[in-house]
Structure 1
């Protein structure tokens, strides 16, 4: 046939099918040929509808087929469909005409042992547990107040947005560092190990959350890999595993320091609400107030039980130490603030240099906003702290003045000593002719006893 001689058969006797007709014909053909068949395979992607019907996939190493087990048949199953379970299923092959999909309508299931992935999961779990990788002794507690939180997950999807929203609602101003990774498929294992090793070696965060949304056993398999589990276990900072839903378990969950049922639960677990910290600060303030009141009472009693010179020396030493401690606290506070701002400036410069190849304008804007918020918060807080310290010092100074024996002398009283320096409180401590010293509010007198009476 020469090029250009192509033509179409335009005979009018050839049957033309509609989509509905050809689909129905395929359905009738499949149902007549595969009415009562048995298929062996491994279950995956199991879902149970609210109606009670089960939807899942039967697969082997070369192919897969969609399956459905209606509620009336599922009620009599000895073993419910579970991901990773190898089964022998009996039923019929048909067509779901709305989508044009062929699928297997299951009437009974007979378990044939666990599937390959489930078997690999159990073997890996047993191996690492025997090495002590899951022991409670190596689990580390989460930091009480983490200011820098690292997250290892996908940069797209609901997981990262949900976690950030929960943490910012509980405590604003946290530094959240995302290391974006692929969470399934080719390259995901290397991405996750690289992210964990980065946070571990850089010590740039106080705690790390590794997580993703739910999925089938195959979808979550990256988190069952041995190299990922060992990377979690050797992390220098505590790791929270938040993979899948509450019913999903991975090897990473057992290797991590803490397991969270969902990514949102991990966000709630990593940081307490700001109100909790405010209550703790109020408790410390109450304890300090009670301690100061107790010490002042002790000083007052000591003053009443000692002589003038001892009381004066005691007051001088106590208040001198207090003033020095206040000065030292002021210096330490200024140094801490200076270090904090220097560290913040260094972190910003480092982040800017390392992220120049990416479009990080949004991240820098958020970091700048958090830094300004922190500065606005620290300024008034420091001012209030110094004002409180000034009030405490003024109160102590007034108490010192009120308790000073010199104020008593200023009201016309005097202190009498004999030649040995002993305070004379009664007339019978002297005899006629004794020489005495009289301490006045301003100056001293030397007097002689001419007469002594007991009244």
Structure 2
């Protein structure tokens, strides 16, 4: 049977369901179109209990349905009404259940304010791209400024608020006023000139630039590109204080600091008198501590110098040398005592060894007597020889030629054991009786020990 409906015999992936088609179209619209700005007249406005807004934006030839959800419409500062011209920032989307394409509104302003807001956003993006809002390019606000500059209207409420706060908190702080227009077509250039003049004169540490509250049109001079670039180029730190806390301007982004109000700016740059008093007390304590530390350090240095002077004084040097001599004398005396003690100990050791080797005590006594007799004999012989030296000398000269005694007189002697003359030490042994003949006599001795 022929296929009367011409349906494909094989599954085709290009066949959509309605829900799939609407979903794909929604994604296509949202991804391709992105954010759009749109001016139109409100009609069919409704605000159900859910808090969301539904409306139609139209012009003379077309219309488009819109939705603005509760989270976004809370930021709208006016009441939308049918017939009112508005500027909206929205995303293009599709309501899938009905297949209706619509706008999802993110923000809404009256047409006049909206155009200004659009210019604000464009300039904001441009300056941000150039880095004028970067935190790294901002100057630090001095903690204790010595002189304050104020760029504002000389008759405005902002100046009176600033001066009132400064008078209350820090009446001694000098204030320099750079009067300028803060509203109108020429206000932006007047503000830029005042900031330039303050930089040229360079007589203050920080500038407060601002005015009191007002509408978007009233504050628009602080959204001017010339003011923004002049603030960015300022060598003096600038605090932006424009309008009320909810008001935000381009000057706030470019300035080194933003204050919610002119009064808040005055609070930032001034210090309460009690704070100054606390600072003064703290500085006094630090100064006293520093003086005490310096005095202690100098006193310590003086003691060191006194000690060095005492070390170099002649009297001290003499005392040192005298003490050194006493110490050396003490060491010498102690060395002598130690040497004598050592010698005595050696002698005692030798005596003990001698006692151990002696046959008996009688031999020791005999030896002592013999030694005494030898000494007396030597003394007697010496005396006798001195008396008769001359006489004996004459006789000796006669006998010298023929008598061997001449040789003996020259200090030689002849030792013998019995009838054997001793010529070598090895002929003698201990306990031998040795007869020693001199020129004037002989002596008999007993051999105690032999040394080679």
Q: Give the TM-score normalised by structure 1.
A: 0.46
Which protein is bigger by CA-based radius of gyration? 2
Q: Give the TM-score normalised by structure 2.
A: 0.47
